Structure 1
């Protein structure tokens, strides 16, 4: 198996770094799936699908990489699955992102040294004739083909309500205030464009209402009318909001009543889906 890619646009390098930073906040371990057309970051906690959030981030490689080559296990299965610690990758990328002057390019390669690694090479400007190159190795584990089925794209949930969210900074502000009151937070929405974010305790009930929000139009409209709610872990939601540095142009919130809140973040050539199952004890 072989993989190599090269980025030369500093904006793409920073955006890629921000995505990895978001993933790193959500989990200690993630899966990197590489195909000819896309790069995916996947969080899937084995054995805890119903009780832990999952993440599916899809990146169009043509947007980020100026050069891109992948050779998978075969022509029929031309893809690679790697397990890694996103925090290690994030720290490496952040050191490149903040370098002054800005790097000329970033190369990412699958290598084998003492063990399989993602090798990152950054070319930095230099006053001399020869450019400076800094190399970092991030250990990875190759996932065998018999396990690939675990990391396939999740199906869109059969939601009961769907609404476009206001800017995430507004949502974060509301959630940050409410997390001091409760461990759980409830999202409620209807097809009239109303979103209610609330917490309820023995002492106090607090809610924030957003009205006249846009409502997505889906090919098979699952919105059954009325207001539908799901209560989720506020800390897990907060991790997404704290780490969401991709500045999405649109965010859709889908609610499966009493079962799940599904966040769908859209930005240019990046889509990110975050699945928050309903809290079992509220």
Structure 2
């Protein structure tokens, strides 16, 4: 079993892992000759939020000199703690040359980061970071399945996530639940509703993807009609931590069932990869 690659975009990879680290202590990474997938199944976090990256573009957009061999169709699956992985990448952000490879240390599998750094005296030095991993069987990974969701009632391109994060942070002390709403006319809303207080922030004029909806009995729904889901404030803030890597985010609301958030890494047309967040709805 062998794996080695040069990380061309350390900062982007670091920000992806930073986003995942806010959500889960561990994640699953699937490496294959032509793809990379990062999975957080959602079992360990309070809100049941799951993250799935697509299996193609991330590998090509992040790495070069990519070589992998294994007895499982040249695929390597591993479970890794997100905090030490993020720390290793963070320490390598300023390096012009970072090599990642599969290795062994004290008879245990590790991801080895070979980092070229510059000392205070201006000399080039090599720094090594080892992140312990557990190699897992393909059969175990294949048991992980993306959530099955109903057809979304509305799709909308969100305002910048950093702005949503500021608004949600201000709402957080008021309630543990957050109402998220949108319509097909470009309206988007975040709302707190309790017996003591009601606070709502509304955005208008958001871009709406061109989607053909299969409405009941072929009747075209009113684009001004709002669709809603109530979610955990904490879960929504965990998703919003992806502002560090997001350029465009498409939100899908499945009425009273879940939110599906497609966070694009890099520009949409560049196909740099997508992180998909599944946030289950909560009962008010």
The answer to whether the 8 A contact 1:159-1:222 is kept is: no
Change (3 A) 1:91 1:187: same
What's the RMSD between the two structures over aligned residues?
Answer: 2.4
TM-score by length of 2: 0.87
Offset at residue 155 of structure 1 (A): 5.9
1:117 to 103, 110, 119: 110
Work out whether 1:141 is the aligned partner of 2:134. Answer: yes
Cross-structure match for 1:103: 95
* 1:151-162 superposed matches below 5 A: 151-152=144-145, 158-162=151-155
Offset at residue 173 of structure 1 (A): 1.5
Q: Could you list the runs of 5+ residues in structure 2 that have no partner in the other structure?
A: 216-220, 267-271
Work out whether 1:84 is the aligned partner of 2:83. Answer: no
Cross-structure match for 1:35: 32
Q: Aligned partners of 2:59 and 2:213: how far apart in 1?
A: 31
Change (3 A) 1:152 1:36: farther
Aligned residues: 269
Change (3 A) 1:167 1:130: closer
Change (3 A) 1:157 1:64: farther
Per-residue CA deviation, residues 24-71 of structure 1 (Å, 9 max, x unaligned), is: 11101100111222222110035x899601001245222221210111
Cross-structure match for 1:181: 174
Secondary structure of 1:180's counterpart equals helix
Q: Aligned partners of 2:126 and 2:45: how far apart in 1?
A: 42
* 1:1-282 superposed matches below 5 A: 1-7=1-7, 9=8, 12-46=9-43, 52-58=48-54, 59-74=57-72, 77-97=73-93, 102-113=94-105, 114-125=107-118, 131-152=124-145, 158-218=151-211, 220-221=212-213, 225=222, 226-246=225-245, 248-268=246-266, 269-280=272-283, 282=284
Change (3 A) 1:260 1:127: closer
Offset at residue 127 of structure 1 (A): 9.3
* Farther-moved stretch of structure 1 (182-191 vs 261-270): 261-270
Change (3 A) 1:157 1:66: farther
Offset at residue 153 of structure 1 (A): 5.3
Offset at residue 156 of structure 1 (A): 6.8
Q: Could you list the runs of 5+ residues in structure 1 that have no partner in the other structure?
A: none
Change (3 A) 1:130 1:204: closer
The answer to whether the 8 A contact 1:37-1:60 is kept is: no
Q: Aligned partners of 2:15 and 2:59: how far apart in 1?
A: 15
The answer to whether the 8 A contact 2:147-2:278 is kept is: no
Q: Aligned partners of 2:184 and 2:121: how far apart in 1?
A: 62
Secondary structure of 2:92's counterpart equals helix
Cross-structure match for 2:218: none
